Amino acid sequence: MTVSVPPEMVEKLNEQAREHGMSRAEYVRHLIQQAPDSPFSVPELELTQTPRSEA
């Protein structure tokens, strides 16, 4: 499976993955699993997010 995202999203994904001690792929899988409407099992560990700054 391949997903294309803009470079700035890749940078943010890499940063967040590092902060959580995960690879980028592992972090993206985790985000998909913990999405409210995900059809997958919810992971035991729920990552918290910091509020987005309004642009």
Dump pLDDT digits (tens) for 14-55.
Answer: 999 999 999 999 999 999 998 888 888 887 777 765 444 444
Residue 5 lies in a domain: yes
Residue 10 lies in a domain: yes
Assigned domain for 32 exists: yes
The Cα–Cα gap between 17 and 43 comes to 16
Is residue 3 helix, strand or coil?
coil
Handedness of CA 3, 44, 36, 55 (dihedral sign): negative
Whole-model pTM: value is: 0.70
Determine, yes or no, domain membership for 51.
Answer: no
* Closest alpha carbon to 17 in 33, 28, 6: 28
Q: Where is pLDDT greater, at 51 or 13?
A: 13
Q: How many domains does the chain have?
A: 1
pLDDT at residue 48, as a whole number: 63
Q: Is 46 a domain residue?
A: no
Evaluate whether residue 55 is within a structural domain.
Answer: no
Range of the domain at 29: 1-36
